[in-house]
Amino acid sequence: MAWSGRLSLTPPTLADVAERAGVSRQTVSNAVNNPELLRPDTLARVQDAIAELGYSPNRAARNLRTRASHLIGLKFNPAQEGTANAAMDRFVHTLVETAGDSGYHILLFAGTTDDPVAAYDALLRSTAVDAFIVTDTYLGNPQAAWLTSRRAPFVAFGRPWDNPEATHAWVDVDGAAGAELATDHLLDKGHTRIAWIGWRKDSFIGEDRRSGWTRSMHARDLPTTGLASRVEDTVASGREAASVLLDEAHPSAFVCASDTLAMGVLHALGDRGIHWGRDVAVVGFDDSQVAQVVPGGLTSVRQPLEQVAVELVKALEGLLSTPPVAGPGVLLSPTLAVRLSSG
Amino acid sequence: MAWSGRLSLTPPTLADVAERAGVSRQTVSNAVNNPELLRPDTLARVQDAIAELGYSPNRAARNLRTRASHLIGLKFNPAQEGTANAAMDRFVHTLVETAGDSGYHILLFAGTTDDPVAAYDALLRSTAVDAFIVTDTYLGNPQAAWLTSRRAPFVAFGRPWDNPEATHAWVDVDGAAGAELATDHLLDKGHTRIAWIGWRKDSFIGEDRRSGWTRSMHARDLPTTGLASRVEDTVASGREAASVLLDEAHPSAFVCASDTLAMGVLHALGDRGIHWGRDVAVVGFDDSQVAQVVPGGLTSVRQPLEQVAVELVKALEGLLSTPPVAGPGVLLSPTLAVRLSSG
DNA sequence: TCGATCCCTTGGATCGATCAAGCGATGCGG
DNA sequence: CCGCATCGCTTGATCGATCCAAGGGATCGA
């Protein structure tokens, strides 16, 4: 506060504080970074001076000397229009908070689709960030391999599906367990013909979630053939897939790989005057805002994004400490947000 | 690329490039910052060396010398659970892209609710950011006044409702025009009894949007008394308000201050077996993902967030140029995304 | 031939913090 | 009383880019 009233617009420096407290610059530096090195009375005197002047270390200078920026790079991938996947919002928020508690800020950057590593490269070369959090792992992950070869510290939100040999740190949510949770929930409600609507086969995440559904069905010796459909992640294709399944397989419940697809199912049911939640149960995936506000509510698998953020930051702290501590992967379990759509 | 293969893990410096290109450090610096000062052939030679070494200026060093970080601070306010307001997502994305084109990155930080300016203060004092984009202006805006007194460059997304004298730069969307657009649309469809469900009176934005509805109604000499309701921004209160209005005022259409409230209206209509879109029209506000994926689609006022981002960055560039150019406020017009809920 | 550009070099200082070495005072054992 | 380690603090160098001032060499026109 103090210096804002002064004539000079430049913030106070370490030297200013030193002069005021009657000590050397280094002592002030120690007061800030290694207080235990100072005698209590000196420390108090320096802290008083710091408070009086409203001193805060200059980031640029500190970054230059210590070769660290205390910034974590995050490529911001927005939700697609017309889908229900707004997980980024909730995730980023807790990430910002958690990182902040550890003294890190999040630096957002945009990526060009044609060259996915260009933006990472630019930030690394200019030493603008200390590490990255990589989230766009839906279809393989060229960034991870590239960052590894570059020896750049990073943690991935998402398993290295395309490369089981990968040794980097990662945090992920067990999608199979989520789908299993959803299917078990429906089975417990008495359903036996439970259909699956998921993504196309080239999606690792989609196949993972699907495996939870099969696992759950097979555990009760129920058939799955003819009950599954794999489509694009849009409301329209979810609606179409549901329509076909209703005609051909007569399911009494649906589990979907996303809330977007689940909305498509609701749409198809509405077309036929079927009362969803009463006549046919529907469960989505991601617990998006859509699931929360649609009349009656859509039962949906909820990813523990807050926990994910905490684990990511924990892993990053390990990587950035000296010596670096490389943790193994962390797999978290989702929960089920039960609402009226599942009866 | 090049240096990543070398034994040394330190990135190349300006001096390295200079040596390789056979020029002085100053010339390399000029090649990067003032290319027009160099003879074309020298420039090419230096650029080759830069490319070969994979050189990129060290941000920390540059920041220290130039007293600029090329970072824009943005407090990340997440959408509330259970509401449909995920505008942040779309807004942040375009902001990151637009800022990136101008050489700026976005630094996210979290704010504590008890002291709204503490986080701003810390970043300013440590010279971590060059400027701020302030978005949380729903109920007055203490940050703006504080930042002004601190002489910190910033642009607000949202008008200075609580202080018309404020001189800072801002960008906003004309909420009244949006509500007017929505109401006119319904009037054109033949509706005359159009109800309004908005926020509590202490919300400047809510009152602004409401004024668009009254303006539109009065322009056609239609009454508004008894047709309006002011509640919390939740699905439940929207539902309740709609229910009361349906009983007492028998409207044939609703205009809402948010998609969240509009979802509440859909809920209330569903409760009574009224077919929305056919029997009763509904229009929401914000064009959230919910509006886009709800079966049939919810007609909604769409804010031009991409334009907002562009204008914000433009204003910031003005503020950060020398001499600073302070632009006046910019008011943008929303559009209407028409879907089946309005017939 | 002289001077005026133009393009680049040279050497240095600077931004503000941290690192590494060093120095005086104190305490303790021999 | 000396030697030596320890504590608490100071001093000079350093990170890498930019800014500044002065000047040198080549080219060109007068």
Each residue's pLDDT tens digit, A189-226: 999 999 999 999 988 999 999 999 999 999 999 999 99
Q: Is the pLDDT of residue B175 over 60?
A: yes
Q: Minimal CA–CA distance to A334: which of A281, A283, A264, A278?
A: A283
Fill in the DSSP letter of residue B315: H
CATH number at residue A216: 3.40.50.2300
Is residue B6 included in any domain, yes or no?
yes
Note whether A52 and A2 are within 8 A (CB): yes
By C-alpha to C1' distance, C9 is nearest to B24
- Is residue A317 assigned to a domain? yes
Do both B102 and B135 map to the same domain?
Answer: yes
Question: What burial letters (b/e) apply to B226-255, b meaning 16+ CB within 10 Å?
Answer: ebbbbbebbbebbbbbbbebbeeeebbbbb
Report the CATH number at residue A21: 1.10.260.40
In angstroms, the CA B83 to CA B291 distance is: 12
Higher-confidence residue of A170 and B138: namely A170
Would you say residue A64 lies in a domain?
no
Query: Taking a C-beta distance cutoff of 8 angstroms, is the pair A244, A271 a contact?
Result: no
Residue A65 lies in a domain: no
B110 and A100: CB-CB below 8 Å? Answer: yes
Residues B40 and B80 in one domain: no
| Residues in B touching A295 (Cβ below 8 Å) | 263, 266-267, 270
Q: Using a CB-CB distance cutoff of 8 angstroms, which residues of chain B are in contact with residue A106?
A: 107-109
- Structural domain of B251: 175-303+337-342
Q: What angle do CA B160, B162, B164 make, to 5 degrees?
A: 60
Indicate whether A197 and A292 sit together in one domain.
yes
* List of chain A residues whose C-beta atoms are within 8 Å of the C-beta of residue B260: 293
Residues B201 and B290 in one domain: yes
Structure confidence at residue B6 (pLDDT): 52
- What does DSSP say about strands A335-337 and A299-302: parallel, antiparallel, or unpaired? antiparallel
Q: Looking at residues B33-49, what average pLDDT do you find?
A: 93
Examine the fold and report which residue of B28, B57, B86 is the final residue of a domain before the chain moves on.
Answer: B57
Instruction: Say if A123 falls within a structural domain.
Output: yes
In which band, very low, low, confident or very high, does the pLDDT at B332 lie, cut at 50, 70 and 90? Answer: very high
Domain identity same for A190 and A229: yes
Average per-residue pLDDT in chain B?
92
Q: Roughly what angle, to the nearest 10 degrees, separates helices B87-101 and A87-101?
A: 70
Count other Cβ atoms within 10 Å, centred on residue A321.
9
Share of chain B above pLDDT 70, in %: 94
User: CA-CA distance, B160 to B204, in Å (whole number)?
Assistant: 10
Cβ-proximal residues to B328 (8 Å cutoff; 6+ apart), any chain: B169
Q: Which of B58, B88, B293 sits opposite A84 (nearest CB)?
A: B293
Tokens coding A24: 């050397």
* pLDDT tens per residue, range A273-287: 999 999 999 999 999
Q: What is the pLDDT of residue A234?
A: 94
Residue B174 to residue B303: CA distance in whole angstroms: 9
Q: Does residue B138 surpass a pLDDT of 80? A: no
Mean pLDDT of A321-333: 87
Identify which has the larger pLDDT, A292 or B328: A292
- Model pLDDT, residue A140: 65
- For residue B111, how far is the Cα from the chain centroid? 17
Average pLDDT over residues A27-42: 95
Q: Are residues A117 and A20 in the same domain?
A: no
> Residue A167 and residue A170: Cα distance in Å, rounded?
9
pLDDT band at A4 (very low <50, low <70, confident <90, very high): low
Give the model's pLDDT for residue B165.
86
Note whether A170 and A312 are same-domain residues.
yes
Q: Which residue approaches C19 most closely, CA to C1'?
A: A65
Judgement on whether residues B184 and B280 belong to the same structural domain of the protein:
yes
Q: Is B208 a member of any domain? A: yes
Nucleic acid strand D within 7 Å of A17 CB: no
Mean pLDDT value of segment B140-163: 89
Confidence check: pLDDT of B28 > 80: yes
Residue B220's pLDDT is: 97
Q: Which of B64, B109, B125 sits opposite A96 (nearest CB)?
A: B109
d(CA B100, CA A335): 37
Verify that B267 and B318 share a domain, yes or no: no
**Beta-carbon separation of A149 and B4 below 8 A:** yes
Helices (H), chain A: 14-21, 25-33, 40-53, 59-66, 87-101, 118-125, 142-149, 175-188, 204-219, 235-248, 259-271, 289-293, 305-320
Residue B311: predicted pLDDT: 97
Q: What are the tokens at A279?
A: 């006549």
Is any atom of nucleic acid chain D found less than 7 Å from the CB of residue A27?
yes
Q: Which helix (H) or strand (E) holds A6?
A: none
Positions of strand C less than 7 angstroms from a protein CB: 6-12, 14-21
Residue A134 to chain B, least CA–CA distance (Å): 16
pLDDT (0 to 100) of residue A325: 86
User: Residue A7 pLDDT more than 60?
Assistant: no
pLDDT digits (tens, 9 = 90+) for A90-115: 899 999 999 999 999 999 999 877 78
Distance CA B170, CA B61 (A): 32
Domain count, chain B: 3
pLDDT for the residue A323: 80
DSSP secondary-structure letter at B280?
B
Interchain CB contacts (distance < 8 Å): A and B: 180
Q: Which residue has the higher pLDDT, A71 or B296?
A: A71
pLDDT band at A162 (very low <50, low <70, confident <90, very high): confident
* Same domain flag for B103 and B194: no
Measured in whole angstroms, the distance separating CA B101 from the mean position of its chain's CA atoms is 17
Which of A177, A135, A137 has its CA nearest to residue A331? A177
Residue B341's alpha-carbon distances to A3, A253, A331, B338, in angstroms, are 57, 27, 42, 8
Chain A residues inside the 8 Å CB shell of B85: 289
Query: Which residue, counting CA atoms, is nearest to the C1' of nucleotide D12?
Result: A26
pLDDT value at residue B124: 94
- pLDDT at residue B323 in the model: 81
Q: Which two tokens stand for residue B229?
A: 């309701």
- Closest residue on chain A to B233 (Cα): A293
Gyration radius from chain B CA atoms: 26
DSSP assignment string, A41-108: HHHHHHHHHHHHHT----HHHHHHHHT---EEEEE--PPPTTS---HHHHHHHHHHHHHHHTT-EEEE
Contact in structure between A176 and A215 (CB atoms under 8 Å): yes
Please check whether residue B139 lies inside any domain of the structure.
yes
Closest CA–CA distance from residue B293 to any residue of chain A (Å): 6
Q: Which amino acid is at B15?
A: A
B137, part of any domain: yes
Tens of pLDDT, residues B70-123: 999 999 887 777 666 667 888 999 999 999 999 999 999 998 777 889 999 999
The pLDDT-based confidence of B271 (bands split at 50, 70, 90) is very high
Quick one: A181 and A215 in the same domain? yes
Query: Is there a contact between B153 and B324 (Cβ–Cβ < 8 Å)?
Result: yes
Which residues in chain A touch residue B61, judged by CB atoms under 8 angstroms apart?
Answer: 60, 64
Task: Name the residue among A223, A241, A224 with its Cα closest to residue A232.
Answer: A241
| pLDDT, tens digit (0-9, with 9 covering 90-100), for B191-248 | 999 999 999 998 899 999 999 999 999 999 999 999 999 999 999 999 999 999 999 9
Cβ contact B86–A89 (<8 Å): yes
- Judgement on whether residues B155 and B252 belong to the same structural domain of the protein: no
